[in-house]
Structure 1
Amino acid sequence: MTTATPDTIDTLLALTPERPAFATRHARDKVAVATQGCYNALFSPDLSGTLTQAERLWVASEIARESGTATLAAHYTGRLAGSTLPPALQTLLEQPGSTPADTRLQAIAQFTRTLATHPDRGDRAALLALPAAGLSVPDTVLLAQLIGFVTYQLRLVAGVAALDALGGGGEGAAAPAAADATPFVHPANLPAPGEPLRLNGYTSETLGWTSWLPVVDPATATPEQQAVLDLSHPKARSSDFYLLLVHQARVLSERSQAFNAIMYAPGGLSRAEREVASTAVSRANGCVYCASVHAQRFEQLARRNDVMAQLFADPDHAGTNARERAIVQAALALTRTPGSFAAQHLHPLRAAGLSDLEILDAVHASALFAWANRLMLNLGEAVFPQAN
């Protein structure tokens, strides 16, 4: 099965059905379809609001340029070729990295460039500068989703290109070594599974999250928004996160489908190992909220928290076995330097016994949290439980 509309990532990478990476990618076709759906939604000329299609394409090209992904930057600037653009936007295309004189475009450019490579440097003031410059709340949410999506997309492009360069044959990779017969002994220096793990400002306890922008009232949400909230999460109607993102219901719908397809697809990389990749990215990006959620999920699935403690303490040396270490290192490389990510970053995964599909799942989870972290870090803040 392949996507019904031309697939941007397949086209950019010249992936054709006879290539092993094409077959692997479309073994996760729900992810490919949802990714393309996000692309189509975000760049639709029919989206309401003041953030024009040309501005959205420029934002995407700027993120790719700042991240060192020339192929994707060229794709987005190419889509603008031949268009009659406002002078300020034309200047930005001709002078990459310049500061626009227009206050509105200046706020958009600053927010975009900060989040492209340093999501932990955004704050409430940076976000509120957008409404102050004339963007509505739905426009601001759209910009944040657009930035998050492109940071995900460019890492997916890099990861799939690396998998393609790695070559086929991973389905015959050696299976991981059988578990040692000695029962797992929980490290004495760590809290028992089920008890909060707290290290370096990170935790596995349940945190809250509050939006810095007005959220949709679920009692007055439109039928479309109600349907998307149902799709997104069982507790979406009581979550500031989903009630904020549903300002852009179509985009949230596509994102939710991509998230679910990546994190919950059967087979391939284990659910617990996907949580390892997700937590590694969240730790690297400084997202305390996402790290808490996915450390907790790992612990629930694996019934241990040793690798989470390692990630909280020192992500560069985390992993209790070869598979975990390879997953963490690949996730960190894709997070920090997507522009130079290559097959060499996948060799340890192959050597640790991961199949091509498992490697793709690791890439998907790692890329996804480039998006998730940017939303959580830059649209609101984590709320820690009050001490008793």
Structure 2
Amino acid sequence: MEQRQILGKNHWYHETQSSLCPADALPLVPEAAHADRFLLDLTLSPEQLAEEQSWINAARSAGLTLLPENVTVTRLHTLSSYDRLSTALTVAQVCGVQRLCNHYAARLAPQPGPDSSRESNQRLTQITQYARQLASQPTLIDSTSRTHLDEVGLSVDDIVTFNQLIGFIGFQARAIAVWQALQGLPVRWLPGLDTLQDAAAELFSAEGAGWAADLPPVELRYAQADQLEAVSVSQPLGPLQGMHWLLAHDAPTLNGLSQLIRLLWQPAPGQSSEQKLVMMLTARINGSPACFAQAAQQWAEENGLPEAIRNGDRALQAWSHNHPRERAVIQAVQLLTRAPDRFSAAHIQPLFEQGFTPSQVLRLLASAGLFGWVNRLKIGLGTLVQPSRLG
């Protein structure tokens, strides 16, 4: 049967199988394709730009690495521009942030879609399903999910890049949501979309959980210069502990993620405990026991907090009753992690009341999106190791 190339989809909810569409199909908001690749069409004051320029540039660079204008497909790197942009749109849909959906829908529309063969349809279906699950309910992803990606032709390099892309779009959605809230922009979300449900408490029953890669890492003897450099840069960073050689399959993206962690993970004076609180909260909601254990071990404040987070909302509410500053952080991070499309100016007002500045709010909450990215890398690329098996 003759294969055919078709235009990309012109709406947010793209199908997972090829179908004919008119040659003049246009996205809903075509001008959104030309917005800034990270900030989209948000405008910042000169003062804000000066204060946040370093990590904005790092985020923009990471986005350009994962979603370049042109992609050369090879045997080891099979993710096409269409694959990447349809994945970005899928994650944007899950997050529900409208300007993000507009942007990736507009960029996807002119891309030639895959041919109409059964193999291509299976591949796109599997990619879309995996992206939606990792973005919306990460604990659904397991070794079987990774096997399915392998079965439809994704290489180890592809799978690493694919998980990085899903994590990045989730981070971008939450950063945009915080900016919109700081600017007092109206919140609009699509009706009927469920919020992210917290991971089961049973995952966090054992203290000191570890993590092991479920895919082969880059071997030192075969590592290229850019991979060696990326590993060297990332090794001192705690959130990436144990993942360096696996993430080195996509060295440019590892460099971008490392730079973002250095710029956002390093807390402002007096905010170290709040960063660890954010790390524990995002790991608990997304379902990454290894990330949670790492942050809990570093927690040096009141002993009851890690246990309260581990036990769920009711215990956490009871703990935070006499901790108004932490309660403001907890409430904001929980909503931003579960439903970025519903995050508004009202949800950051308690932080201002506790003395946070706009820049502190932005960086603290953007780091929640960044930790969510790392959570998904741990879940998507490896497995939980119980403490008794750690050696």
TM-score normalized by the length of structure 1: 0.79
Paired residues for 1:11-30 under 5 Å: 11-13=40-42, 15-17=43-45, 23-24=47-48, 26-30=50-54
Q: Is the 8 A contact 1:215 1:240 kept in 2?
A: no
Q: CA deviation at 1:82?
A: 3.0
Paired residues for 1:251-262 under 5 Å: 251-262=253-264
Structure 2, unmatched stretches of 5+, are 1-34, 186-200
Q: Is the 8 A contact 1:203 1:291 kept in 2?
A: no
Match of 2:233 in 1: 231
Match of 2:307 in 1: 309
Match of 2:167 in 1: 148
- Out of 52, 61, 66, the residue aligned to residue 94 of structure 2 is 66
Q: Secondary structure at the match of 1:282?
A: helix
Matched residues, number:
333
Q: 2-side partners of 1:142 and 1:40: how far apart?
A: 13
Counterpart residue identity of residue 313, structure 1 = N
Q: Is the 8 A contact 2:135 2:170 kept in 1?
A: yes
Cα distance change of structure 1 residues 88 and 245 upon mapping to structure 2, 3 Å threshold: farther
Q: Is the 8 A contact 2:81 2:111 kept in 1?
A: no
Q: Write the deviation string for residues 191-222 of structure 1: whole angstroms up to 9, x where unpaired.
A: xxxxxxxx855379544321111111123211
1:158 aligns with 2:160: no
Cα distance change of structure 1 residues 35 and 203 upon mapping to structure 2, 3 Å threshold: farther
Q: 1-side partners of 2:255 and 2:37: how far apart?
A: 19
Q: Is the 8 A contact 2:97 2:173 kept in 1?
A: yes
- The ranges of structure 1 where at least 4 consecutive aligned residues each deviate by more than 2 angstroms after the TM superposition are 6-12, 23-26, 45-48, 80-89, 199-208
Q: CA deviation at 1:81?
A: 3.1
Match of 1:287 in 2: 288
Q: Percent identity?
A: 29
More deviation, 310-319/130-139? 310-319
Cα distance change of structure 1 residues 251 and 232 upon mapping to structure 2, 3 Å threshold: same
Cα distance change of structure 1 residues 350 and 161 upon mapping to structure 2, 3 Å threshold: same
1:120 aligns with 2:150: no
Q: Is the 8 A contact 1:204 1:296 kept in 2?
A: no
Match of 1:54 in 2: 82
1:43 aligns with 2:67: yes
Q: 2-side partners of 1:228 and 1:281: how far apart?
A: 26
Cα distance change of structure 1 residues 234 and 16 upon mapping to structure 2, 3 Å threshold: closer
Structure 1, unmatched stretches of 5+, are 1-5, 90-98, 167-198
Cα distance change of structure 1 residues 343 and 150 upon mapping to structure 2, 3 Å threshold: same
Q: CA deviation at 1:73?
A: 1.1
Q: CA deviation at 1:88?
A: 5.3
Cα distance change of structure 1 residues 117 and 207 upon mapping to structure 2, 3 Å threshold: same
Match of 2:336 in 1: 334
Q: Is the 8 A contact 2:171 2:373 kept in 1?
A: yes
Match of 2:297 in 1: 296
Q: CA deviation at 1:17?
A: 2.4
CA-based RMSD: 2.7
1:81 aligns with 2:127: no
1:350 aligns with 2:352: yes
Q: 1-side partners of 2:72 and 2:65: how far apart?
A: 8
Q: 2-side partners of 1:366 and 1:234: how far apart?
A: 20
Cα distance change of structure 1 residues 260 and 205 upon mapping to structure 2, 3 Å threshold: farther
Match of 2:195 in 1: none
Counterpart residue identity of residue 178, structure 2 = G
Cα distance change of structure 1 residues 383 and 108 upon mapping to structure 2, 3 Å threshold: same
Cα distance change of structure 1 residues 59 and 325 upon mapping to structure 2, 3 Å threshold: same
Q: Write the deviation string for residues 17-73 of structure 1: whole angstroms up to 9, x where unpaired.
A: 25xxxx346423221111111101001224651100121011101111122122111
Q: 1-side partners of 2:292 and 2:361: how far apart?
A: 21
TM-score normalized by the length of structure 2: 0.78
Q: Is the 8 A contact 2:226 2:251 kept in 1?
A: yes
Q: 1-side partners of 2:99 and 2:305: how far apart?
A: 35
Paired residues for 1:82-121 under 5 Å: 82-87=110-115, 102-121=121-140
Q: 2-side partners of 1:84 and 1:283: how far apart?
A: 40
1:137 aligns with 2:156: yes
Q: Secondary structure at the match of 2:184?
A: helix
Q: Write the deviation string for residues 153-199 of structure 1: whole angstroms up to 9, x where unpaired.
A: 10111011111218xxxxxxxxxxxxxxxxxxxxxxxxxxxxxxxx8
Counterpart residue identity of residue 140, structure 1 = I
Q: CA deviation at 1:346?
A: 0.6
More deviation, 41-50/371-380? 41-50
